Amino acid sequence: MADELLDKARDVLEGQIDFDGQRLAELLSTALLSTAGIVAFLVGYATQNILLSLYIVLGGAALTFVVVVPPWPFLNKDRITWLPPQSHGTRGVEIEVDGEKVT
Q: Could you list the residue range(s) of the whole structural domain that residue 80 is in?
A: 1-102
Per-residue pLDDT, 12: 66
Q: Give, for 40, the enclosing helix (H) or strand (E).
A: helix 19-47
- Long-range Cβ contacts of 97-101 (<8 Å, 24+ apart): none
* Domain total of the chain: 1
Backbone angles phi, psi at 61, to 5 degrees: -65, -40
Is 57:41 a contact under the CB 8 Å cutoff? no
Q: What letter would DSSP give residue 30?
A: H
Which residues of the chain are under the pLDDT cut of 70? 11-12, 86-93, 103
Per-residue pLDDT, 103: 61
Q: Tell me which amino acid residue 69 is.
A: V
